């Protein structure tokens, strides 16, 4: 099974939990994801399956879009609603103009300090592991880009927003810093990712929906407090062959990496590419990288131009 599947991640599961569930549902071990979502967050989580896991390298810097809510009045140690309060609660009634004025400081290129509860590493150790042990976490600010930050509504102590950001941006840190600037503390109350690169919520499917294609008439069980499917008796044993119509849930290969032009290779050319050899693609002489298909749906390689009209397969996806 070689595919890209977009999951609408529910709250309460880690991204790794979702991968584990997908492995069991699809009976496929080779599955990865294209960008971590915090357990509290919901929305677009692209999964790459089989040989298409090799496409992950092209999505490391993908732009992401979020919608969410910030609650003002107190800060938390995790910078979101799942953490412990670190400041006294204040009664806050915000005005739209003061929120807009602060939001302006977070648009464009900014220096941002990641949350202490994050996967950023300190001497090889993830920061969240140190934070959980109540050890000191000192993270250096990094440059990130917030390409758009739109304030959707302001209601007393809550602000709803929409943001389009470059990879590596923490919306938890944005919420925390906005609260600091307003002097009242704040944390991220909810977050929903609506897009990653070319993938949107319109492409997304729930785990239940995927399970129903593999196990007709059954929804995906969930035992409260069991996030590891290996230890979840309600999920154990679900790994059986999926119906062929599960393919209808996959992203069409022609829609992947739209920034790369596509070419359909004839059989001799496809054979050379599958064996890792350089090929001549005169119609794409100006492209730096191209997607090579053997037919309408079989993506067999991403090829890089090496000289003139000669392209060498950077990665071969189907042999």
Catalytic residue positions, numbered: 38
- 302: phi then psi, degrees, rounded to nearest 5: -110, 120
* DSSP run (H or E) holding 103: helix 96-103
Handedness of CA 100, 103, 107, 109 (dihedral sign): positive
Can you list the alpha helix ranges (DSSP code H) found in the chain? Answer: 15-26, 96-103, 127-132, 171-182, 207-214, 267-274
**Cα–Cα dist 212/206, whole Å:** 10
Residue 59 CB neighbour total at 10 angstroms: 20
Alpha-carbon radius of gyration of the chain: 22
- Residue 178's SS3 state is helix
**Cα–Cα dist 251/255, whole Å:** 7
**Cα–Cα dist 97/101, whole Å:** 6
DSSP code of residue 312: E
């Amino acid at each position: 099974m070689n595919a890209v599947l977009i999951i609408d991640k529910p709250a309460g599961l880690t991204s790794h939990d979702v991968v584990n569930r997908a492995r069991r549902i699809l009976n496929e071990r080779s599955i990865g994801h294209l960008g971590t979502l915090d357990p509290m967050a919901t929305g677009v989580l692209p999964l790459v399956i089989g040989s298409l896991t090799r496409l992950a390298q092209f999505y490391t810097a993908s732009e992401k879009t979020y919608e969410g809510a910030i609650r003002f009045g107190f800060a938390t140690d995790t910078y979101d609603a799942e953490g412990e309060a670190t400041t006294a609660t204040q009664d806050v009634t915000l005005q739209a103009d003061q929120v807009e004025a602060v939001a302006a400081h977070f648009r464009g290129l900014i220096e941002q300090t990641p949350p202490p509860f994050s996967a950023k590493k300190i001497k090889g150790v993830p920061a969240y592991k140190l934070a959980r042990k109540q050890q000191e976490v000192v993270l250096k600010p990094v440059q990130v880009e917030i390409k758009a930050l739109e304030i959707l509504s302001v209601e007393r102590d809550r602000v709803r927003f929409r943001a389009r950001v470059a990879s590596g941006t923490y919306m938890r840190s944005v919420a925390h810093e906005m609260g600091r600037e307003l002097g009242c503390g704040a944390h991220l109350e909810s977050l929903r990712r609506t897009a990653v690169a070319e993938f949107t919520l319109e492409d997304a499917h729930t785990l239940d929906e995927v399970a129903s294609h593999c196990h007709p008439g059954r929804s995906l069980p969930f035992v409260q407090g069991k996030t590891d499917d290996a230890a979840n008796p309600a999920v154990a044993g679900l790994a059986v062959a999926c119906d062929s119509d599960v393919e209808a849930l996959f992203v069409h290969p022609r829609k992947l990496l739209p920034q790369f032009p596509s070419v359909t290779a004839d059989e001799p050319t496809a054979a050379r590419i599958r064996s890792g050899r350089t090929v001549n693609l005169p119609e794409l002489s100006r492209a730096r990288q191209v997607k090579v298909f053997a037919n309408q749906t079989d993506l067999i390689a991403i090829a890089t131009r090496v000289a003139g009209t000669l392209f060498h397969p950077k990665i071969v996806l189907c042999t």
